[in-house]
Amino acid sequence: MVTPNPEFTKEIESRGGGQVLMCFQCGTCTASCPSGKQTSFRTRKLMRMAQLGLKDDIVNSEELWQCTTCYSCVERCPREVPIVDIIIALRNIAVDNGHMYDEHKKVATALSKYGHTVSINDNVKAQRKDLGLPEVPPTVLANDKAKADLDKILKATGFDKIIG
């Protein structure tokens, strides 16, 4: 027997997740989900778990991370449930509760260090040079001020503390 936890549904909303209670469990999202065709992830089930406030089950679930944020479900949902916003809110809550995969930590660390989730290496630099391009693209990689601004944002949002 599951006891609904309305406080958790309020927490999802307050974290930008929107109205999960609007979902009437039609299953259109699951049927539209390309990720669910390859994995055990079921969008409708996650929405139901969120409605019931099953926080522990959600933050510990591998499926929470199997959405690619393609928005197919959002385009088709007859109730206009902000499914992706809800999933992002749930992921943020999961991270706040100490659930972050090493792979995600590596990507986040690269963003913090270089300003890009994938850093540039010597091989890429050489290829760019062969193509007549600057070795380093004109992004945050080549702009100290932009990198300093990014550092400020990461610090102000607490991002640096999350990745340790």
Footprint of ligand SF4 on this chain (CB under 6 A)?
23-29, 32-36, 43-44, 47, 67-73, 77-79, 81, 83-84
* Residue 52 Cβ vs ligand SF4, minimum distance, rounded to whole Å: 13
C-alpha pair distances (Å), 35 with each of 55, 60, 70, 82, 99 = 22, 19, 9, 17, 21
Long-range contacts of 29-37 (CB under 8 A, 24+ apart): 29/73, 29/76, 29/77, 29/81, 29/83, 30/73, 32/72, 32/73, 32/75, 32/76, 33/67, 33/72, 33/73, 34/68, 34/70, 34/72, 35/66, 35/67, 35/68, 35/70, 36/66
* Residue 68 Cβ vs ligand SF4, minimum distance, rounded to whole Å: 4
Q: At what angle do helices 43-52 and 83-96 cross, to 10 degrees?
A: 60
**Closer Cβ to ligand SF4, 23 or 111, answer by number:** 23
**Closer Cβ to ligand SF4, 73 or 154, answer by number:** 73
**Closer Cβ to ligand SF4, 43 or 163, answer by number:** 43
* Residue 38 Cβ vs ligand SF4, minimum distance, rounded to whole Å: 10
* Residue 12 Cβ vs ligand SF4, minimum distance, rounded to whole Å: 13
* Residue 8 Cβ vs ligand SF4, minimum distance, rounded to whole Å: 17
**Closer Cβ to ligand SF4, 26 or 148, answer by number:** 26
**Closer Cβ to ligand SF4, 78 or 134, answer by number:** 78
